[in-house]
């Protein structure tokens, strides 16, 4: 989780003073918020449909959070906070096609969305008209295996791994583990995740 998130931060090329939006506030999204602030972003906003995750994001340094289920147009909200510009960068972590479409609407013209989520089943209903076309938005895939070729020679896997170990002492991790369940009750853990995801960020199995 940590090195995947770190790769996403490196791929996003955050600049000092940026306004950044993180869509999807599971473990990776919570780490993205914290690392984005470390990287120089002045404002970081979070988006998720689960209030537990939104509350945790605020604890972890988010400057504001949005729930799409509240009925507000989040892209318009972000634009009102940025002088009608839009976000300087968006990291989409949820893996939801609908969220990726919304990320396109949130991003400022000529900016890049970092797609850190896994879009299982493909994106057959992607809307590549309107904001995507007129604002010249780019979408970049980011994942655990590699990073931007421009810096890959400096940031090999060993260096990234070492940096992530150092980050363990700098990140807020305690509020990301919401449940600890014995390994011999693993079936109940899956049942809880399936039936009551609203109270869960990360389930840890104990031995």
Give pLDDT tens digits along the chain (207 positions).
899 999 999 999 999 999 999 999 999 999 999 999 999 999 999 999 999 999 999 999 999 999 999 999 999 999 999 999 999 999 999 999 999 999 999 999 999 999 998 888 877 878 888 899 999 999 999 988 889 899 999 999 999 999 999 999 999 999 998 889 998 888 988 888 888 888 889 989 898
pLDDT, residue 1, reads 82
Query: Which strands make up the sheet holding 138-141, listed edge to edge?
Result: 64-66, 43-47, 19-23, 89-92, 112-115, 138-141
pTM for this predicted structure: 0.93
Label residue 25 exposed, middle or buried (CB < 10 Å: 0-12, 13-18, 19+): buried
């Amino acid at each position: 989780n940590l090195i995947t998130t770190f790769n996403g931060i490196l791929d996003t090329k955050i600049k000092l003073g940026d306004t950044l939006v993180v869509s999807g506030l599971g473990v990776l999204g919570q780490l993205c918020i914290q690392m984005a602030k470390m990287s120089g972003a002045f404002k970081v906003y979070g988006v998720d449909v689960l209030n537990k995750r939104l509350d945790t994001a605020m604890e972890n340094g988010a400057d504001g959070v949005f729930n799409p289920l509240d009925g507000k147009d989040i892209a318009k909200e972000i634009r009102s906070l940025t002088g009608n510009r839009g976000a300087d960068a968006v990291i989409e972590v949820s893996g939801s096609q609908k969220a990726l479409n919304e990320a396109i609407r949130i991003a400022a013209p000529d900016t890049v969305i970092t797609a850190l989520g896994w879009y299982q089943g493909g994106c057959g209903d992607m809307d590549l008209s309107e904001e995507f076309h007129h604002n010249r938005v780019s979408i970049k895939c980011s994942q655990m295996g590699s990073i931007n070729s421009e810096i890959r020679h400096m940031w090999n896997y060993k260096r990234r791994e070492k940096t992530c170990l150092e980050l363990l002492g700098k990140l807020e991790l305690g509020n990301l583990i919401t449940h600890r369940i014995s390994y011999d009750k693993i079936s109940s853990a899956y049942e809880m995740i399936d039936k009551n995801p609203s109270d869960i960020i990360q389930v840890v199995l104990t031995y």
